[in-house]
Amino acid sequence: MPSEATGEQLLATILKHDSKTTSYKFALLRALNDVVLGYPDLALTGELPVAVPLVRLAEWWLAYYWSFADPAQPVLQGRPAQRGEAQRQDMSFRPALALLRSAWQRLVVGPGRAGDGYFLLTEMRSPRRRGQYPAELLSTYDQARKAAVAALAMPIRHAGTHEQSVFTAPIRLRDAVATALPGTDPNEKCLLVPAYLWRASHRLSLYVEALCVHEWSLFTEQLGAAPRGEAYALLTARPDNRQALTWERNHVNVLLMEQHHFVCPWTGKLITRPDEYDLDHLLPLSFYPVNELWNLLPVDPAFNKHVKRARLPSLERLAAARSCLAASYGTYGHSNALGLALQQDVALRFGPLAGGDFPAQLAARAAAFIDDVATARLAGQRF
């Protein structure tokens, strides 16, 4: 069985030396790296491959390519080729993604921003959040995702060399002997990622992200599509919270009016009234797009604005906050709507939590996940 060292060499070889006619290989390895970051412990032991649904990779692709698919200022992502009398698109899913961008701006936000693709990614991953959008947008999103799934076939087939291809052809989960991402349907078609490659990507997450973005920017410049600095800015744009968390705030306010309370996990401040809190992303959207309810908790607004801001907590602060996190998750359980949403979001991210103390288990898993992201991507910039 190949080692993690082999996995590291393979990742670097594909990014730096594989032949490329489009940016698809960069996007494939970047998407895998982001999925690994979201589920790091699936291949920590054992040698079973990890089954990643193609739709999950396609969702990341829509975020990466969002800025390149602006109909008013398209940025070329491949060398155009002739097919018969027609010129083939540089990105086969460009028309579908351009339609999605148009629908998003027309139906939801107005003028768009470069990071909107990431925000839409996290919104569509949550059944609760997805259900708040117009049917037309949802249909357009599903069509764009389907087109991106089809485009994935090329880099999956051609990653690596003739002597050492990296991936086998995708198969349905029901036919695979593999570890599945939480929430994967048995009928979903999946890419089987070797365990050694999963572990190598996790260990070198920051390096893989940086190399993907660097090589992708150079490729875009070599195409004459945009200077590398402009391409880098588009590839690293991250979302702010474009949509107000009205649904969540309304239900938190009801809990407070029913005499339940929260305690800020960072300062210990008691929160008893609707005007005493910010609803904060524990793991900021700018680092990893997660709008799931376990990542949204009432916090001290002064501390949130002036100290935490968009930073990640230290391991020591996370350890000290675990009891407050558990208490807040337990308070969510007093609301039927929030309790159900929390269960659904936890199942998507962490799978079933065995045992009796759900809030405490969730607090431990959430703290470990946040620390893992911070360690992998942001060492040294924590509060």
pLDDT of residue 52: 98
- Residue 329 confidence (pLDDT) above 90: yes
Contact 141, 120 (CB under 8 A): yes
Residue pLDDT, tens place only, 143-197 = 999 999 999 999 999 987 655 678 999 999 999 999 999 999 999 999 999 999 9
Kindly state the percentage of the chain with pLDDT values over 70.
Answer: 93
| 377/221: higher pLDDT | 221
Residue pLDDT, tens place only, 278-294 = 999 999 988 888 889 99
pLDDT of residue 143: 98
pLDDT of residue 46: 83
How confident is residue 274, by pLDDT bands cut at 50, 70 and 90?
very high
Residue pLDDT, tens place only, 86-97 = 556 799 999 999
pLDDT of residue 130: 93
Q: Give the residue-averaged pLDDT of 258-262.
A: 97
Residue pLDDT, tens place only, 349-383 = 999 887 789 999 999 999 999 999 998 887 567 88
Kindly state the percentage of the chain with pLDDT values over 90.
Answer: 73
Residue pLDDT, tens place only, 99-125 = 999 999 999 988 888 899 999 999 999
How confident is residue 266, by pLDDT bands cut at 50, 70 and 90?
very high
How confident is residue 239, by pLDDT bands cut at 50, 70 and 90?
confident
